[in-house]
Each structure stands twice: as structure tokens, then as C-alpha cells.
A and B are shown apart, each in its own frame.
Chain A
Amino acid sequence: MTKDATKGKNSKVLLSVRDLCISFPRPDRSNKMVVDHVSFTLSEGEILGVAGESGSGKSMTALAVMGLLPENAKYEASELSFLGQSLLFSNRKKEEEVRCRLSGSEMAMIFQEPLTSLNPVQTIGTQMEEPLLLHAGQAKEARRELILEALASAGLRNPSELLNQYPHQLSGGMRQRVMIAMALINGPKLLIADEPTTALDVVIEQEIVELIRTLAKERQLSVIFISHNLNVLQKLCDRLIVMKDGKIVEEGSTEQVFSTPVQDYTKKLMSAVVSGPKERAKENAEKETKESTETEAVLRMEELSVIFRKKTSMFHAPLYKTAVNKVSLSVGRGEIFGIVGESGCGKSTLLKTIAGLQKASDGTLSVSQTEAGVQMVFQDPYTSLNPAKKVGWILEEPLRLHTKLTKQERKERVLSMLAETELLPEIAGRHISELSGGQRQRVAIAAALILNPELVLLDEPVSALDVTVQAQILALLLRLQREHGLTYVFVSHDMAVVRKLCDTVMVMKDGRMIECGPAEQVFLNPKEDYTKKLIGSAKESGK
């Protein structure tokens, strides 16, 4: 990769932020500081990455620069200037006037959710036209030309067709391209991108990042790119800021930060991503010799298919969608079996079918039956645990349903399970909404394991979590697997995580199994092009 990290140093300063503080009022009249004395500068043509986990204040910083903070936010700074113009005002009217002049002409922003960020009731054409109407006085024909040009340069084919379409008619990637085209239509000097690829699939993510890099190079555009994904930042940015709890903890050129991180926190952030599969691989090698002779299948399926009937009106012949297409696999006791693929590839449907939540249309499926059944840990611990109940109740529920334990015995079992998942006993009396994401996922794991099941299905169990928390949860899962001899089927779109955890990996695309084999083999010598493309990003950062 070629990158000129030194470029920013001698060119003109575009944006300068000094001692920015942002706080929100709390019910008890105190203030919650979300951004704490943040200072940085941005030069013309520079791409600055802002890394950090959720709640680190990175988005708030960007919103403050753009003047889009929520109404109840309080902010102050000793300097906030853009193109030499101060953006700190005492007068609200003046502030609105300057902001309206700069926004959309000199500085622009794109957001995480391109669907909701576009107005659902206006055509793409109308929305693209608005920045032109607000800031420049071209004639109607000229405006149309500019819009078509902007859409084309954002990599959209058939721009003239797009003009009369509505956001809901486009794909996620196209919507984000429209957002980029709209942001850049007046040729701004600064583009702020707030997690613009988080809602997108891996392959599309790469395309969008590539697009932003190309456009920035072409137009001498300065970019502030906010992401929790270090892989993306490493590929794109000249300089990097790492934020934690509202403060900047590390700053420097991208290469410098990645090769010699100063702060422990940064190291932790990066190790969570980059750490190799070494330990696991060694273990596997040892295990393999022992196991290969006496592997007993906990789960086995032959030519399994799941076909959905699409809803259609009575005037049409029914349409069918094959979500899972003739997949065969076998998982031995104590194995961690990974299934990877992009969203919509059928991996979640496959998992649901194994769990018995979805009927198979064809093929055979046998799961070794135990009293505990098959348990599952879901992606989003915010929705997989009942928000109306306390943790203790949730953990007791399987015991109530399957065992004849007394109330006291159940309580004891719950406490020991909490201890095993490294949670404090008082958590039992809390509601889910009072817990952090990591704590919730621990509770979900405790609930899945409390009946001592043999097979546990993990549906993207860490992808909703922050990177450092991800590492902790993965370590917990590994420890529990070893201690209890559990069998995992692990579904994920994150290649790095799969590589770290799994013994065997299966790659899925459009409902079919593309490739399947021991994890190291798949990662080091992928047979299929698609697999290579998928692990492309993981490889680049894996070094």
C-alpha cells in the first residue's frame, strides 16, 4: 500500500480544534462529560482517522465540528476554526447563518445509516438538487448536469434513472454512494464520515472506502473518517487519533500508531484485531491426533435445504427463495465449527434450522439429543434477553422449565453460573437495561449454558460489541468450551474472529457451501476466489 503520511505537515491548516468539551445534563443536575478537552488540527488534503469504541466521544466530536450536536448538548472550546473562520458564536442567529452558509458548500458529512439519512419521501434527484439550490445559483439544466456528474463520479451507473427513484428502492451500497455524491456536489474542502461503512457488508465496505480514498486524492479533499474498525482506518488514513472516554489517548501517523502504539489501550484495541491464530492452531494440532480416531458427531446434516415461499398476490404463481441449498456437514464433539459469509448468505437460517426454529425443506439433520437441547447465543444481547425481567429470573427460567430444583437450589445454580461467566452476584437483581453490552452477552452465555447443553450455537455473538469487549467474550467462550467440553457452531462475518476461534471453517455464499476445511488451511490456502476476497481485508492487516 502506498501512502504519504508526511504530506499533511507542511500544507495549510484547514480545521483547528482546541480544548473541545461536550457535556449533557443529567437528571440530578450534574453534567455528563462526553468529550473532554479534545484538540486536533486537520490540514488540507489530509485524511484523519478517529478510532475508538462506542461511547468514546468520537461521533460527538464530529457532530460538534459540523454544528449538528443535539439541542440539549452543551459545548465549549478555546478554539474551533475552519478556513480561518471561528465557529464559536455567542449569538444563535449568527451561528445559524454561518453554519447554513458553510454546511453543504465548504464542509459536508455522511452518516452511518444511509437509508434513514435520506429523506424517504423525496426522490434522489430532489435531494441531490437541494445543496445546489441552497448554495449556488445554476440554471435548471446546469443543475441536472452537475447532479448526473456527481452521481457518476460516485460510481453509480445509470444516474439519470436514479433521479426519479426513492431511497427505499436502492441497495445499501448505492444509498451510501448517493450520500457521498450529495455531500461532494458543491466541492467542499472537508468531508466528515461518521462510521459510513458499519451498516454495510464487507465487500461493499471495501468499495466505499476505496471510493472515498480516490475522491479525496482527486479533489484535494480533507476527510475526517470515524470508525471503530481499525482495518479500515489503517488502509485509508494518513493520520490517526484514538479516543477513549472522551479523551484523545493516542495520536500520530497511521504507520506510527500501528507499528509502535504508545498507550496500553491502543495495543489492546489492535491486538483484538490483529492477534494471530497461533495458540489455537497449536492446540488443534495436538488435539487432532487424539481426536481423529474417535470423533463422534454431535451434529450431522446431509443435503439440507431451506426454501422460503415469498409472499405474492393471488394473481401470481408463488415465488421461492432458496436460503440454504443442499448443505452437508458434520461437527464432532468438542469441535468449534465456524460458518462465514456475508449477510443474506443463509448462515443465520442454517443456524436457526439446527436450533429447530426453522423447518428444513429437504435433506436430513441429526442433532445428538440431550435433556438440555440445543442452546443458542444471539448476536444482539439487547434483544436476546427479555427486557421486562431481571437477570435472576431469566437465568432461572430454563431451570424452572426443565428441572425439579427447589427455589433455593435454582438460586444457587444461578449464582454459580454468574461466577463462571465472571459476573458479580448482585447482577441477578438487575434489569437488562442496567447492564453494559459485554455484561449482557455474558448473561446470555450463562443462560445458554445453565442446563449444561452439549451443543451451543453462537450467532455472531461478538459482532455487536466493542473490540476490547469482543476479546474478553471470545476468551470466556474458549475457556468455557475447554472446561465443559462444549461443541460450538459459530457463525460470523468477521474473518479475524473466526480464524482466532474455530477449528473448522465453512464458507457460504447464496445458500451454498463454497468451501469447507480446517481453519488454517482455508485461511492460508483458500481455494475459491470468493473466499480470497472475503479474507482480503483480514489478511492485509494480519501481516
Chain B
Amino acid sequence: MRYWVKKTAALLVTLLVAAFLTFLAFEVIPSDAAMTKLGLDATEEEIQALREQLGLNRPLPLRYLSFLADAVRGDFGNSTQYGRSVGELLGGRMPVTLGLAFYSFFLIVAVSLPLGILSARKHGSHGNGGFALLTQLMMAVPPFFLGMILTLVFGIIFKVFTPGAYVPAGEDFFGFLGFMLFPALSVAIPKIGMTVRFLQNSLNEQLTADYVRTAKSKGCNRRRVLWGHVLRNALVPVVTFLSMVMAEILAGSIVIEQVFNLSGVGRLLAVSISHRDYPVVRAIILYATTVVILLNYLSDIACRMLDPRIRQI
């Protein structure tokens, strides 16, 4: 019970610190919301008046608190580029990015776990053989190049999907799945290579542990040794690894959305950075850090459930 209180308190503190750093970063950036809004030929008085109105002359801690209060209510100000509220803008883009992220994550888990387990059971030396070559190849492909190759092969040559024609999940779920398969694959394939290798190493390490010998001496066959003893031990580091992968998927979607011309959060971020649309950038960074921190929190909990040794601390 005390663990949960502590853990949740730590989560809240981390979130507040992350929010503060994000807030601070955009205070330091040489830009002034009032200047940006009024343009370069505004008079000093006009700027001062607007600064006062926007609350930019208040002390830093106060501004941070009002920033927090606004953020909790989902109010991130207005985009300088689109002139719309940032919350609304993000809300429209979120389904695409989240859809892509979960789809890719599903592919990664669904392919990597069986593949990793299968390859570990073949007890081959890990640096050698065609399998290692394959996983290394998967890791070496830049995701956006992979996206182009997939577009070229399946979009243009075989015409399995129409490049650029995004199908919203709400309209046609299977159409959505069919179209998004290719962007999701572009994100997933490099990560599958990484995850398989990681899982394989973790399993191979556990397979040489002393308790495996004990299990065999009790009469466990290979299958029982693997599923009953080794897997749970080997999964502990993999869970942490997967939470990092999920964070990287979100980052990777910036590039993939560009390749497949998807209007998601990542693309919005790239465009907003080019146009110095700071309210949007700030909101997206805040959203991304929150997601990453939550993922870490969840993976810590999962590890704790898997490994009783962590529970002691």
C-alpha cells in the first residue's frame, strides 16, 4: 500500500517537473507571444498593453501556475500558424497518431515475442547465422526509406493501397487497417529487429542460469523449462525495453506521417517547428513527455508484478 502512495507521488512530481521544464524551455526561447501576434511593426505601447493583457508581465512562478491550470483544462492557447485553439487542433490529429502507434506496437509484440522465443529455443550462437543477419538488416533500414519502398512496391507496383488516401477508422475500420498496415509496418519492422534481438539475448542469458539446471534436475522437459521457468525471468527487462520502444514509436511517427502524407500529431509538430508555432510545439512536447512518463510508470508496475525481488525495494 505504501508502495502505491510513494509511486503515485513520484509520478505526480515527475509530471510537474517535466511540465516545468517544458514551460521553462519556451520561456528561454527567444520569442515573445505578444511580438509574434502583433507583427514587427507594432509600437512599444501596443506590445506592452498586450503583454499585460496576456499576463506575460507577471512573475515566473505565477505564470507557471496559470500555465498548469490551463493545461489541466486542456487549454494550450492558440496556434499562431492556424489561428485555431491548440487543443482543438491536437484533438483532430490525435486519432491518426494514436492509431498508428497502437497498430505498430501490436505488430511489434505479435511478431517479436513468438520469433524471439522460437529463435532462442534453437540455441544457436547469437552472433552468427542468417537469423542475426536478418534482425540486423531490419534494424539498419531507415523507417522513412522503408516507407518509400513499401509505397513503391505495394502502392505503386501492386496497387494494394492508394498512397496518400487515408481512411479514417470511424468510416471504414477495415479500410483503415488495410491502409495503415504499411505505415505501421514501416514503424514496426526496425523495432521488431531490435525487440527480437533483445528478447533473444535475455532468454539465452536466462537459459544458462543455475535455476534452469535445477528445473531439469526436477524432471522438467525443454518446453516446461522455457515456459514455466525461463520466460517470466526473461520478460522483466523486455517490459522496460518495450516501454522505451513505445516512446520511440511515437517519435518515429513524425517521419512516417510525412512519408505517407498522414495528418497526425507528428506531422503537425514538424510543420509547427518550421513555422515557429510555439504554442503548438509546447503542447505537443508536453503531451509526449506525459506519455513517456506514464509509460515508465506502467512498465515499473509490470516489472514489479513479474519480479518479486523488485517488490522489496
- A419 within 8 A of partner (CB): no
Q: For residue B220, which residues in chain A have a CB less than 8 angstroms away from its CB?
A: 100, 130, 134
Interface residues of B (CB under 8 A from A): 123, 209-211, 213-222, 224, 228-229, 232-233, 236, 306-309, 312
- A166 within 8 A of partner (CB): yes
Closest Cβ of chain B to A171, distance in Å, is: 15
- A161 within 8 A of partner (CB): no
Task: Give the number of residues in A that approach B within 8 Å (Cβ atoms).
Answer: 34
Could you say which of A115-123, A484-492, A498-506, A522-530 contacts chain B?
Answer: A115-123
| B308 A104 Cβ-Cβ under 8 A | no
| B218 A117 Cβ-Cβ under 8 A | no
| B308 A120 Cβ-Cβ under 8 A | yes
| B218 A104 Cβ-Cβ under 8 A | yes
Closest Cβ of chain A to B273, distance in Å, is: 41
15 pairs across A/B with beta carbons < 8 Å? A96-B221, A104-B219, A105-B219, A111-B213, A113-B210, A118-B211, A119-B215, A120-B233, A120-B307, A120-B309, A121-B306, A130-B215, A131-B218, A166-B308, A182-B218
CA distance A109 to B209 in the complex (A): 16
- A219 within 8 A of partner (CB): no
Cβ 8 A contact of B211, one of A99, A117, A131 = A117
Closest Cβ of chain A to B121, distance in Å, is: 12
CA distance A96 to B306 in the complex (A): 29
Cβ 8 A contact of B213, one of A96, A117, A166 = A117
CA distance A281 to B217 in the complex (A): 49
Q: Known: A96-B222, A100-B221, A119-B229. Contact between A168 and B308, CB under 8 A?
A: yes
Q: Known: A100-B220, A100-B221, A134-B220. Contact between A168 and B312, CB under 8 A?
A: yes
Closest Cβ of chain B to A515, distance in Å, is: 37
Q: For residue A67, which residues in chain B have a CB less than 8 angstroms away from its CB?
A: 216
Q: For residue A68, which residues in chain B have a CB less than 8 angstroms away from its CB?
A: 213, 216-217
- A71 within 8 A of partner (CB): yes
- A405 within 8 A of partner (CB): no
Q: For residue B221, which residues in chain A have a CB less than 8 angstroms away from its CB?
A: 96, 100
| A116 B211 Cβ-Cβ under 8 A | yes
Can you list, as one digit per residue, whether each of A66-97 has a CB less than 8 Å from chain B (1) or not (0)? 11100100000000000000000000000010
Cβ 8 A contact of A121, one of B123, B214, B215, B232 = B232
- A101 within 8 A of partner (CB): yes
Closest partner residue, chain B, to A67 (CB atom): B216
Closest Cβ of chain A to B234, distance in Å, is: 10
Closest Cβ of chain A to B103, distance in Å, is: 31
- A203 within 8 A of partner (CB): no
- A103 within 8 A of partner (CB): yes
CA distance A313 to B281 in the complex (A): 39
Closest Cβ of chain A to B306, distance in Å, is: 7
Closest Cβ of chain A to B309, distance in Å, is: 5
Cβ 8 A contact of A103, one of B218, B233, B312 = B218
CA distance A116 to B205 in the complex (A): 13
Q: For residue A121, which residues in chain B have a CB less than 8 angstroms away from its CB?
A: 232-233, 236, 306-309
CA distance A111 to B228 in the complex (A): 20
Q: For residue A122, which residues in chain B have a CB less than 8 angstroms away from its CB?
A: 229
CA distance A38 to B230 in the complex (A): 33
Closest partner residue, chain A, to B210 (CB atom): A116
Q: For residue B228, which residues in chain A have a CB less than 8 angstroms away from its CB?
A: 130
| B308 A131 Cβ-Cβ under 8 A | no
| Given contact pairs A113-B210, A119-B215, a sample of 16 additional A-B residue pairs in the complex whose CB atoms are under 8 Å apart | A68-B216, A100-B219, A102-B219, A104-B219, A108-B217, A117-B214, A119-B214, A120-B211, A120-B233, A121-B307, A123-B308, A130-B228, A131-B218, A131-B219, A179-B214, A182-B218
Closest partner residue, chain A, to B218 (CB atom): A104
Q: For residue A113, which residues in chain B have a CB less than 8 angstroms away from its CB?
A: 210
| A103 B217 Cβ-Cβ under 8 A | yes
Closest Cβ of chain A to B2, distance in Å, is: 9
CA distance A432 to B36 in the complex (A): 66
Q: Known: A111-B213, A116-B210. Contact between A101 and B232, CB under 8 A?
A: no
- A280 within 8 A of partner (CB): no
- A135 within 8 A of partner (CB): yes
Q: For residue B222, which residues in chain A have a CB less than 8 angstroms away from its CB?
A: 96
Closest Cβ of chain B to A492, distance in Å, is: 27
Closest Cβ of chain A to B120, distance in Å, is: 13
Taking CB atoms and an 8 Å cut-off, the chain A residues in 28-78 that contact chain B are 66-68, 71
Closest partner residue, chain A, to B228 (CB atom): A130
Residue with the highest number of chain A CB atoms closer than 10 Å, among B209, B216, B228, B233: B216
Cβ 8 A contact of B217, one of A104, A119, A123, A166 = A104
Q: For residue B216, which residues in chain A have a CB less than 8 angstroms away from its CB?
A: 67-68, 99, 103
CA distance A117 to B218 in the complex (A): 12
Q: For residue A123, which residues in chain B have a CB less than 8 angstroms away from its CB?
A: 308
Residue with the highest number of chain A CB atoms closer than 10 Å, among B214, B308, B309: B214
CA distance A130 to B228 in the complex (A): 10
6 cross-chain pairs, A with B, having the tightest CB-CB distances, nearest first = A104-B219, A104-B218, A116-B210, A103-B219, A109-B217, A119-B211
Closest partner residue, chain B, to A168 (CB atom): B309
Q: Known: A120-B309, A166-B308. Contact between A111 and B210, CB under 8 A?
A: yes
| B219 A66 Cβ-Cβ under 8 A | no
CA distance A120 to B232 in the complex (A): 10
CA distance A99 to B225 in the complex (A): 14
CA distance A122 to B228 in the complex (A): 10
| B123 A71 Cβ-Cβ under 8 A | yes
| A134 B312 Cβ-Cβ under 8 A | no
CA distance A130 to B307 in the complex (A): 19
Q: Known: A104-B219, A105-B219, A134-B219. Contact between A118 and B308, CB under 8 A?
A: no
CA distance A82 to B218 in the complex (A): 17
Closest Cβ of chain B to A126, distance in Å, is: 9
Closest Cβ of chain B to A192, distance in Å, is: 8
Closest Cβ of chain B to A380, distance in Å, is: 20
CA distance A130 to B306 in the complex (A): 19
CA distance A113 to B224 in the complex (A): 22
Closest Cβ of chain B to A312, distance in Å, is: 12
Residue with the highest number of chain A CB atoms closer than 10 Å, among B213, B219, B236, B308: B219
| B209 A116 Cβ-Cβ under 8 A | yes
Q: For residue A130, which residues in chain B have a CB less than 8 angstroms away from its CB?
A: 215, 218, 220, 228
Closest partner residue, chain A, to B212 (CB atom): A119
| B308 A117 Cβ-Cβ under 8 A | no
Q: Known: A71-B123, A116-B210. Contact between A66 and B217, CB under 8 A?
A: yes
Closest Cβ of chain B to A534, distance in Å, is: 29
CA distance A119 to B232 in the complex (A): 10
Closest partner residue, chain B, to A134 (CB atom): B219
Closest partner residue, chain B, to A132 (CB atom): B218
Closest Cβ of chain B to A189, distance in Å, is: 14
Cβ 8 A contact of B309, one of A99, A100, A111, A166 = A166
Can you list, as one digit per residue, whether each of A179-195 has a CB less than 8 Å from chain B (1) or not (0)? 10011000000000000
Closest partner residue, chain A, to B214 (CB atom): A117
Q: For residue A101, which residues in chain B have a CB less than 8 angstroms away from its CB?
A: 219
Closest Cβ of chain A to B142, distance in Å, is: 36
Taking CB atoms and an 8 Å cut-off, the chain A residues in 113-153 that contact chain B are 113, 116-123, 130-131, 134-135
Residue with the highest number of chain B CB atoms closer than 10 Å, among A66, A111, A117: A117
CA distance A109 to B216 in the complex (A): 10
Q: For residue A118, which residues in chain B have a CB less than 8 angstroms away from its CB?
A: 211, 214
Taking CB atoms and an 8 Å cut-off, the chain A residues in 156-187 that contact chain B are 166, 168-169, 179, 182-183
